[in-house]
Chains A and B, each alone.
Chain A
Amino acid sequence: MTQDLFIRLPDDSQDDTVSFSFNGEPLTAAKGMSVAAALLANGKHVFRHTPVSGAPRAPYCMMGVCFECLLEIDGVQNRQSCMTSVAQGMHVHSQDGGKDLSGQLINSELEENAQ
């Protein structure tokens, strides 16, 4: 099982934890972890369902190149959770299907530059 592979090594640093949520479920993680690592350490391994076939996906490369770990983080869809640090109070949701562009805020700066 995927979660058995992920055990946090003991370290001497202060036991700094943050609270966040995944699909509404309250979870905690050590400060400084990526969102992807934080979820894996909590035994979560279905991060998203693909836009094409709907198949479940978990993180693969953990270093920003494979785009398997996409999640909705604080309202922004398709974020690479392995490249994002977990933070206190973060709202994380699984990414099901493609990004919904019409549900995203339009970046007004980009619009202005486009004029």
Chain B
Amino acid sequence: MSTVVVGGGLVGSAIAYGLALQGETVTILDEGDVAFRASRGNFGLVWVQGKGDQHVQYASWSLQSARLWPRLAADLQRDAGIDVCLQQPGGYHICLSDDEMQERANKLSRIRENLDQPYDYQIYTASELKRILPEIGPDVVGASHTPYDGHVNPLLLLRALHKAAIVRGAAYRPNRKVLQIKHSGSSFRLETDSGDSFTTDKLVIAAGLSNRELAEQVDIYVPIKANQGQVLIGERCKHFLSAPTTYIRQTNEGTIQMGDSMADMGLDDRTQNEVISTIARRAIRTFPILGTLNLVRAWAALRIMSPDGLPIYQESRACPGAYVFTCHSGVTLAANHAYEISRWVFEGEQPDAARTFSNARFMEHSSS
């Protein structure tokens, strides 16, 4: 069987790599450099903490991927010869007010209560935290910590997935934005903006913000929209942060990254001074030594956000063999996508853990 994966970002590449590992004939069709590529702008966290407090299966799904991540890093090292710099020392969410701290504690206890497996977390007071992260400032009230969290170099991850997929026999075809999908009999025909077309038995749509309109062509409803996040990059410094936090991390090479803004502003991926200064202020309140940090870059990128923030994984009922996979955590979930989701496409058997992410949750009157 052949599969065409539409989208060469983190989601599409991870699924394509997983399919190639199982011996599937895979072609990745990617857009050009004009694409709103979330995979080039994200923060690089492998993050579990706090996810799924309204939907506990999302906590399980994130935990599962965090556990599979060392295997993915090892497979990528083997196949691509690239070290994606995975570190999973656990992660902190640092709070600057008592309210925030209380909300955090409630959230994590709710997840622990609802989850059908152990969920370790710890709440630290400022003085306890000071012993672990000595550079925190006087405004820090405390932090939560889970041992599951970590980070990678997301750009190396994207490159490694491409290279590993190709090494395992996948074809990567850039500058081919898919314009039209036609389903006839048991195959799909895709027309691209480069003028060539592709025919395939199975079709995986993992095209980020284009998922909505592409999936519509195979009759799958995907109510996603763009959510903007901005990231600041500081110069490389000697290591002072031993573990990633939700909005500040120090890469293995010493670079300081700050982020975690969220704004609904359509397809606008320009930075704004107010957002940059808000991110910088919070970072300096958290770690005052960042006050002397020079910034070398700032950018905005667009998350692919569903109404409840969870992934949408759906096979077409009208056109069997066509799937859409979309989420805003392409780094955290990369291991699940490479191993679990690719097996679904390869064998046709939906993993139980993925059922909850069907688009049925957005249908008032599901047709089937």
Contacts and interface: CB of A to CB of B under 8 A. Distances in A.
Contacts of A101: 135, 237-238, 240, 289-290, 292-293
Interface stretch (A23-31, A34-42, A107-115): A107-115
A52 B254 contact: yes
Contacts of A107: 291-292
A51 B238 CA distance: 8
Contacts of A115: 285
A111 B294 CA distance: 15
Interface string B14-57: 00000000000000000000000000000000000000000000
A110 to B, nearest CB: 4
Provide the main secondary structure of the chain A interface: loop
Given A51-B253, A98-B236, A78 B294 contact: yes
B253 A52 contact: yes
Interface string A44-74: 0000000110000000000000010000000
B292 A97 contact: no
Interface in A77-108: 78, 97-102, 104-107
B285 A114 contact: yes
Given A98-B254, A106-B292, A51 B285 contact: no
A113 B292 CA distance: 14
A105 B271 CA distance: 29
Contacts of B285: 114-115
A85 to B, nearest CB: 18
Contacts of A100: 237-238
A102 B135 contact: yes
B307 to A, nearest CB: 35
Given A52-B253, A78-B235, A106 B135 contact: no
Contacts of A105: 292
A36 B296 CA distance: 19
Contacts of B135: 101-102
B235 A113 contact: no
B281 interface: yes
Given A101-B292, A106-B289, A51 B284 contact: no
Contacts of B320: none
A52 B285 CA distance: 28
A105 B292 CA distance: 7
A51 B289 contact: no
A102 B238 CA distance: 9
> Which of A51, A78, A106, A114 has the most C-beta atoms of chain B within 10 angstroms of its own C-beta?
A114
Contacts of B235: 67, 78, 98-99
B288 interface: yes
A51 B254 contact: yes
Given A51-B253, A67-B296, A98-B254, A106 B288 contact: yes
A114 B284 contact: yes
B288 A111 contact: yes
Interface of B: 135, 235-240, 253-254, 281, 284-285, 288-294, 296
Interface of A: 51-52, 67, 78, 97-102, 104-107, 110-111, 113-115
7 contacts: A51-B253, A52-B253, A67-B235, A98-B235, A98-B239, A106-B288, A106-B289
